[in-house]
Structure 1
Amino acid sequence: MATEIRADGVKKDLGGETLAVKRELSGFTSSFIYWVGVICSLFHIWVNTVGVMPEIQRNALHYGFVLLMGFIMFPMLRKHARATLPLDWALGLLSFGVALYLVLFEDALHARNEVPLLIDLVAAGVAIVLMLEITRRTTGLLIPVLAMIFLGYGLGGGQYLEGLWHFPGVTVPRMLYRMYFAPDGIFGTIATISSTFVFLFVLFAAFLLKSGAGEFIIRLALSLMGHSVGGPAKMAVFASGIMGSVSGSAVANTVGTGSITIPMMKRIGFSPRFAGGVEAAASTGGQLMPPIMGAGAFIMSQWTQISYLKIVGVAFIPALMYFLSVAFFIHLRARKRGLKPMAEADIPRLREVLKEGWNFFIPIAALIGLLMYGFTPTFAACGGIAAIVVASWLNPRTRMGGKDILDALSSGGRNMVTTGVILLCSGIVIGVVLMVGMGIKFSMLITEISGGSLILTIVLVALASLILGMGLPVTASYIVLAVLAAPAMQMLGVSLLAAHMLIFWYSQDANVTPPVCLAAYSAAGIAGSGPLETGIESWKLAKGLYLIPLLFCYTPILFEGPLWQVAEAALTGTAGLFCFAVFFEGFCHRLLNWGWRLAYFGCAVLLLWPEMATHGLGVVLLLAFTVVGRAAAKKMEAHPA
């Protein structure tokens, strides 16, 4: 994990969804966090396999572990990290204390017929305040401010609004009870997702990377793609697709694979901004790639009650189309610049790469096999973790010892802090939304503004996702929009799966869309290019992120129709994405003038328009363009100017 260490005892963490500042730990504090991470991971493995514990109590302890580590890892004041360490210790221990309070006294509350005592309300209030503070430290001000606005609305702020948004408000004790003890507050549905699916797959990723799989994936991608034109850039697409699905963070993916791929792209002749843009666009796509999809598939499954296996199954074709769309840009840019494949000496032999790391396929196969056999994602993740350790012993180069296992357990617990905080704090927003019926109100508002137009509704959702994404991490942005906007799309005839999948895809756009695009900015730091110009490049390369979700709503590409229609939509959609790449790059077999570029743009519209007649016309035009383009290119080669 990449970090930037400063002299005042803090380090800038580039491995999460935000560029948060961490405290540089040492001595007893470092050892304490290490072992808390180990215990936290062991607790989550136990409670998700053989352990029996009420859901809200499990989520409370999850809160306790995450906040205990978070307060010590992330300083209150960035410029005074060492001075505030004692206070941060106190806040961390207090966080674990209020979590234990719920575990110890929840039964007593039920025995009093849900009538809380003053001490219950104090514990609830402290838990909320601590939640807001740790969220400020790890993600900035926007999420806690948003949570406070929602709390204020529910406590009485809504009574000053008129019409659709009028809400008389609830009492402070009622709000504290709902946020702390009820199943729709901090320890509710979103906390369940965090303490089960998300935690275990973050832990799975930690074990996989500790075993050396990251280096293997990059070498495998290089051996497969290195011989083609623009090979390192195509390798970045391949490696980032696999790594991003596991890591769950576009920024972490950009830094992890980009530190290797971006210098290689620059070395073969790509500009720094293009190299950074490729890595940012590819890394963003990692969250769209099954079988793990970051945390998205688990959250979507829990929220919609659609099986996890179905979600990852239908997500594969659109994800593949996205990565192909990025590869189209790379291939066309490489051809336009006349770049050559990598030197043979720099490309590892596929046989040697597989010989060194063949055992890494075993845990992935075990994970997918357990899911397909019908086991729960939590059980499959635990089985995958065990398979990583067993598989590592089949190769002397990757063998994990006791220290390696402890390191992976600790890393998994610590890596969960930022994501866990985001999800737990999102529980406040979701709790208020459900309590006041805001989702229905927002859906009615969108429907009114759009006038019942689906395409206008989609545009509004895309704009909302971009605005939210400027301050919210991807996971939080998806959760908020899913609650508020998905019902509006369903009112217009979009299926539950398509509505949530579209929102999930659009929630990724802030990673690659200026002015706030963390993945692109992280890539620019590695590439040595300007952040804004790299962001613009990544925005152009990630066109599939905006176009493919339209197919979710207008075609059966999510397997919501006959297989031949799914295949037809996928093939013509991919051809349309290629035409869009040609339009933006201005090259296909030869440099194109604006007349030809607009012709390809028109062809792209025909191929993506949800009518088979336009698809047929688009295919005919594309074939004709290809024939004419090849003939013109051969003529230019035979008679160069």
Structure 2
Amino acid sequence: MSNKSQGVIEDSSGEVVVSQRKLSPGLTKTLYWTGVAMSLFHIWVNTVGIMPEIQRNAVHFGFILFMGYIIYPFSVKTALGLKWLDLGLALLSIATAAYLLLFENALHARNEVPIVPDLIFAGIAIILMLEITRRTAGYIIPGIALFFLGYALWFGKYMGGIWNFPGVNIQRMLYRMYFAPDGIFGTIATISSTFVFLFVLFASFLLKSGAGDFIIQLSIAMMGKMIGGPAKMAVFASGLMGSISGSAVANTVGTGSITIPLMKRVGFSAQFSGAVEAAASTGGQLMPPIMGAGAFIMSQWTQIPYLTIVGVAIIPSFMYFLSVGFFVHLRAKKMGLKPMEDADIPKIMDVLKQGWNFFIPIAVLIGLLMSGFTPTYSACAGIASIVAASWLNRKTRMGVKDILDAFAQGARGMVTTGVILLCSGIVIGVVLMVGAGIKFSIMISAISGGSLLVTIVLIALASLVLGMGLPVTASYIVLAVLAAPSMEMLGASLLSAHMLIFWYSQDANVTPPVCLAAYSAAGIAGSSPLATGFESWKLAKGLYIIPMLFIYTPILFEGPLWQVAETTLAGLSGLFCFTAFFEGFHKIRLNWGLRSLYLVAAFLLLWPMIYLHVLGVVLLTVLYLAQKTRILI
């Protein structure tokens, strides 16, 4: 959306909604070719190029900040044209990256003793990082970074108990943030410059080749004839699109512009239509094979292979989308809605005939991951296969201009996410330096009284609060480094602890008062943002319930296959019962007595005991038959 009166463009392509500068043709061209160069560099350095990790991350930093200072103004009032200050900051960003490339070896030759120019450039890099994060993501993330820096440098020594920290001097802090592998150019920057960038680029190529339109048309063809078809189509399309885009807001805007009007046309309210799109789009980041940026961070931190994370995420992600689908189905039945008109539904074979080639790059990506290749190699091969597959269909062929456009769009789409990840490196660096993760875990254990369930509730509340000010990736990073150890101390496995936090960090998209995906959907639907937010919060209940199964059941394949299958079926039945309770409808409208019985059935089916699952199935069967035969009703 554009705001010409103020000369800014409101961008919702990433995890946050921010004001962009209105660029002149010359700056647009500069940004375009910078993006192309950035994409080519990242492909080279992640395939055949050889470069030390910290130097690669420094180049990544230079590209991200240079583009960031051109795109994002100091404020809305300065958004017309590129100011000299912003140009200077953009060039200074390149200078700070170049300094590390040129003088890192000299620092090693001095046995890691920094000199004055080293400290000056380190300080400049931190200031540039904090300012560009403020411009792209608001005040919360740089505020958190400043808080942690202040704690380590100054006020930690004035705190009592386990939070007392004697402090470090400014020289030591500057060195750790700029030259050490746990600062700005450390682990998080590595994730940003490898996995995340390449998969963002993969998504850019796939969407540029026309895959987005194909996904929507395929969804209409498959779901259009069902009751509530457009809403079910939104769930299906958002799952497919979100697994590629990795952004709930971008997914909402991209698919919602088509699905929300269709939902309204068949009779759904504007509020419900927007909520369905927001809830479904949020699940896109949970859907393999790509998922959100947090999945790559999880793999890097836990050293659990990315393929393992993707594999165990399949069943829970399908459960989530089915839980949203349950709401859609029961609401459509309750309203007596009819399927779409046949004239509006394309034939599925015609759609597949026009876009079958889009399955090839997805198959290449999944095949290489399953064969043991690294995610970076798989993503690069997937990008090449997109171009090759596009030539199998005359309508989708990518020429040189299309390829360059995909390079430029992918790099530009990475700026906001890259900035957030790089700034998170400051937080992680300080957390590791002061041992805050262990301290936070001890504090949570003390508050929870050693109860794992209470700990999970506290983490859920923390994710809700963090989600009011942080994008989902940043929320996951902060919670994972602070809270995951406490869950492991109380018996949760490494995988289940991080997967639960990854899921809970997504709730920021659909949980009022700050829920960007829901607000974006409300803008398209023409509904009340806050009402749409509460509706999407209800539809996304699986986001809160399913992660509990990670901890207390073997659903992440941490047990025998029969137990995984039994847990999945019981869990789906329990989610359906929750839906019937919230909607007040199954075969007929339910009074509060029947709704209460559905709630009881839900708890029986979700509680991790097989004999309770049997009781839950019996109760659900009795309720179904009672409605079917109208006995006792």
Query: Scaled by the length of structure 2, what TM-score is found?
Result: 0.99
Q: CA deviation at 1:15?
A: 1.2
Unaligned runs of 5+ in 2: none
Q: Which residue of 1 aligns with 2:444?
A: 446
Which amino acid is the alignment partner of residue 224 of structure 1?
A: M
Among residues 525, 531, 547, which one is paired with 1:549 in the alignment? 547
Return the offset for 1:518. Answer: 0.6
Check if 1:502 corresponds to 2:504: no
| Structure-1 separation of matches of 2:289 and 2:240 | 9
Q: For 2:599, give the aligned amino acid.
A: F
Distance 1:171 1:617 in 2: 63
Deviations 1:167-218 (CA, angstroms, capped at 9, x unpaired): 0100000000000000000000000000000000000000000000000000
User: What CA distance in whole angstroms lies between the structure 1 residues aligned with 2:144 and 2:295?
Assistant: 25
Partner residue of 1:9?
A: 7
1:83 shift after superposition: 5.8
Aligned equivalent of 1:169? 167
SS in 2 for 1:397: helix
1:578 to 576, 579, 594: 576
What corresponds to 2:197 in structure 1? 199
Matching residue of 2:469: 471
Determine the structure 1 residue equivalent to 2:434. Answer: 436
Partner in structure 2 of residue 257 of structure 1: 255
Off by >4 Å, runs of 4+ in structure 1: none
The alignment partner of 1:508 has SS state of helix
In 1, the alpha carbon distance for the partners of 2:629 and 2:219 equals 33
1:235-314 superposed matches below 5 A: 235-314=233-312
Deviation for aligned residue 1:601: 0.3
Residue deviations 1:211-253 (CA, integer Å, cap 9, x gap): 0000000000110001100000000001101111111111110
In 1, the alpha carbon distance for the partners of 2:323 and 2:503 equals 15
Aligned to 1:377: 375
Residue correspondences, number: 633
Instruction: Tell me the secondary structure at the aligned position of residue 10 of structure 2.
Output: strand
| TM-score, with structure 1 as normaliser | 0.98
- For residues 368-397 of structure 1, give each alpha carbon's deviation from its aligned partner in whole angstroms, at most 9, with x where no partner exists: 001011100000000000000000000000
Q: Is the 8 A contact 2:22 2:81 kept in 1?
A: no
Q: CA deviation at 1:80?
A: 1.8
Q: CA deviation at 1:294?
A: 2.1
Partner of 2:183: 185
User: Any conservation in 1 of the 2:23–2:81 contact (CA below 8 Å)?
Assistant: no
Q: Which residue of 118, 123, 138 maps to 1:125?
A: 123
CA shift for structure 1 position 297: 1.8
Equivalent pair of 1:76/1:84 in contact (CA under 8 Å): no
Structure 1 Cα separation of the partners of residues 596 and 2 of structure 2: 45
Q: What is the distance in 2 between the residues matched to 1:12 and 1:341?
A: 36
What stretches of structure 1 of length at least 5 have no aligned partner? 637-641
Residue 624 (structure 1) shift: 1.2
| C-alpha separation in 2, matches of 1:108 and 1:186 | 20
Partner amino acid for 1:448? A
Q: Write the mapping of 1:36-47 to structure 2, written as runs, cut at 5 A.
A: 36-47=34-45
What is the CA–CA distance in structure 1 between the aligned matches of 2:198 and 2:602, rounded to whole Å?
A: 41
Q: Distance in 1 between matches of 2:213 and 2:80?
A: 35
Equivalent residue for 1:639? none
Q: Which of 289, 300, 320 is matched with 1:322 structurally?
A: 320
Contact 1:200 1:378 in 2 (8 A): yes
8 Å CA contact 2:294, 2:477 repeated in 1: no
What secondary structure does 1:573 align onto?
helix
Three-state SS of the structure 2 residue aligned to 1:507 is helix
CA deviation map 1:90-138 (0-9, x unaligned): 1011001100110111001000000001000000000000000000000
* Secondary structure class of the residue paired with 1:264: helix
Distance (Å, rounded) in 2 between the aligned partners of 1:20 and 1:489:
35
Please report how far the alpha carbon of residue 84 of structure 1 lies from its aligned counterpart in structure 2 after TM superposition: 5.3
Q: Percent identity?
A: 71
Q: How does 1:21-36 map to 2 (within 5 A)?
A: 21-36=19-34
CA–CA distance in 2 between the matches of 1:124 and 1:92? 16
2:224 match: 226
- Where do residues 152-163 of structure 1 align in structure 2 (5 Å cutoff)? 152-163=150-161
**How much does 1:623 deviate?**
1.1
Contact 1:246/1:294, CA 8 A, preserved across alignment: no
Deviation at 1:31, TM superposition (A): 0.5
SS of 1:513's partner is coil
Amino acid across the alignment from 2:244: V
User: For 2:409, which of 408, 411, 417 is the aligned residue?
Assistant: 411
Deviation of 1:87 (Å): 1.5
1:537 aligned residue: 535
Q: What is the rounded CA distance, in whole Å, between the counterparts of 2:476 and 2:609 in structure 1?
A: 30
Partner residue in 1 for 2:138: 140
For 2:75 and 2:423, locate their aligned partners in 1 and report how far apart those are by CA, in whole Å.
Answer: 20
